[in-house]
Amino acid sequence: MTEPMDKTADALVVFGITGDLGRRMTMPALYRLERMGALPCDVIGVARQELTTDELRTMARESVERAEASVDEDAFERFAKRLSYIASDATDPSSGERLAEALGPAQKPVFYLATPPSLFAPIVEMLGSVGLTERARVVIEKPFGHDLASARALNDRLLQVVDEDRIYRIDHFLGKEPVQDIVYLRFANEIFEPIWNRNHVKAVQITLAESFGIEGRGSFYDGVGALRDVVQNHLLHVLALVTMEAPAGSRDAIADRRLDVLRAIPRADPTEYVRGQYEGYASEDGVRPGSDTETFAALRLRIEDWRWSGVPFLIRAGKMMATTMTEVHVLFRRPPPILLGDHTEQARHHNHVSIRIGKDAGASIGVLVKDASGEAAEPVHLDVSFQEHLARSPSPYERLLGDALSGDATLFPNQAVVEEMWRIVQPLLDDPPPIETYTPGSWGPPPADRLAEPFGGWRPAASEETRTEPT
């Protein structure tokens, strides 16, 4: 069958629309798309909960009110009119028949699976059994498998029904504007490219710290842990964007260059991996007695290519940390001590570029300037907040769902990327080191410090720095 030139969806089906993800993220994102005039089609919700369409609309209203400071009544009315609901077990073959009837003449539906991972393959197989996947796109949430073998098994089942270019795997981190800004910061600014390599970069650190714990998600988190939850996906995506070669040609080239970098990363070494668990985790609701699930993970990786060979990449992520921050910190080598000598306090300081990915999105550049005495150099940080200078940016789900509906797969990892990320961390899952406990409000277990000691130690939180606003 000939592929239509216009990829815009003519129907959106959300499986699991009444769940936590549907209420917290999906419905507010779809409302915002409608408000901007960017929601191109009607929305059919599918879940087991017995609801009427009017009750779903009421739920949507409550979700939007929780997420928005104020509600645009005209926009919400338009959004509500688009909503309909089917109460059904999504894996029941009769669900497919009811769904086919509800879709009517739609030729390019998007099926969004906001469901537990165990339902991904059964739902797609059900859709295929009633002929609904020929021109459809299927959007699935992370996690994509529990390890490399299960990721491959899931992909194999999906590919029996849907072609790879019609599978859109959501990682909401890639929908964050500051994550996308990494590409622009690198390749739209000539000043960085000449020094963005092993000749000038001493080390790269990527930190995702959260000052809160598992927040009642014990039964989910205890079977996942920090490595699977954020390192294997979010932070490896960030690492790839920071280190990939310049994309050329089409937008698809970004995905190709990310894959090139991931393929150049050797499998992680368990001797360069530290697992931590915050004190009190074992008493959280839903956590198994004696659980050794990590709430903190720190590791060191390498990239064996011409640009980065020999540069250490230090990654850490944890809960109940000293602060909440997500940051990329690129540490540069010191210049030769011709002018200032090598026995001064400032000799321990390096130039750096830090990119903040959290709510305080922005960047800082660390430089050395002459101090008041005129006889030494002093480090200062030139800082800019993206939010202060740029217009409102879409939320991650707003961006990703909009892209899925328009047929833009740029921000969605493909099968090869997912499997490469699992390949990198699989040795850490197969041979994990013992758990180290750490105090809530700290920067993790002390053994994690040894990973970064040869490279100047972990960078402190941005809030602990002195910043200088550029004029």
Average pLDDT over residues 160-168: 96
Which is the catalytic residue, given 172, 234, 237, 329?
234
pLDDT, tens digit (0-9, with 9 covering 90-100), for 199-236: 999 999 999 999 999 988 888 899 999 999 999 999 99
Please indicate, yes or no, if residue 281 is contained in any of the structural domains: yes
**Distant-in-sequence, close-in-space partners of 450: CB < 8 Å, separation ≥ 6:** 274
134 and 229 both lie in a single domain: no
Overall number of domains in the chain: 2
124 and 202 both lie in a single domain: no
Chain mean pLDDT for the chain: 90
137 and 195 both lie in a single domain: no
Among all chains, which residue has been given the structure tokens 């073959």? 93
pLDDT band at 374 (very low <50, low <70, confident <90, very high): low
Average pLDDT over residues 363-377: 78
223 and 103 both lie in a single domain: no
On the question of pLDDT at 274 being above 50, the answer is yes
On the question of pLDDT at 35 being above 70, the answer is yes
Structural domain range at position 86: 11-141
Backbone CA torsion sign across 365, 366, 367, 370: positive
On the question of pLDDT at 462 being above 80, the answer is no
373 and 224 both lie in a single domain: yes
Please give the radius of gyration of the chain, using alpha carbons only, rounded to the nearest integer: 24
Please indicate, yes or no, if residue 6 is contained in any of the structural domains: no
pLDDT band at 470 (very low <50, low <70, confident <90, very high): very low
CATH number of the domain bearing residue 103: 3.40.50.720
302 and 388 both lie in a single domain: yes
Please answer whether residues 347 and 340 qualify as being in contact, where contact means their C-beta atoms are separated by less than 8 angstroms: yes
On the question of pLDDT at 375 being above 90, the answer is no
Q: List Cα–Cα distances, 99 to 5, 26, 96, 163, in angstroms.
A: 25, 20, 5, 21
Last residue of a domain, one of 125, 141, 157: 141
40 and 188 both lie in a single domain: no
Please indicate, yes or no, if residue 187 is contained in any of the structural domains: yes
CA separation for the pair 48, 87 (Å, rounded): 5
Q: Give me the pLDDT at residue 338, please.
A: 56
306 and 418 both lie in a single domain: yes
Active site annotation includes 389 = no
Please indicate, yes or no, if residue 267 is contained in any of the structural domains: yes
% of the chain at pLDDT higher than 90: 76
Please answer whether residues 178 and 355 qualify as being in contact, where contact means their C-beta atoms are separated by less than 8 angstroms: yes
Nearest to 326 by CA among 211, 465, 201: 211
66 and 128 both lie in a single domain: yes
Please indicate, yes or no, if residue 354 is contained in any of the structural domains: yes
On the question of pLDDT at 342 being above 70, the answer is no
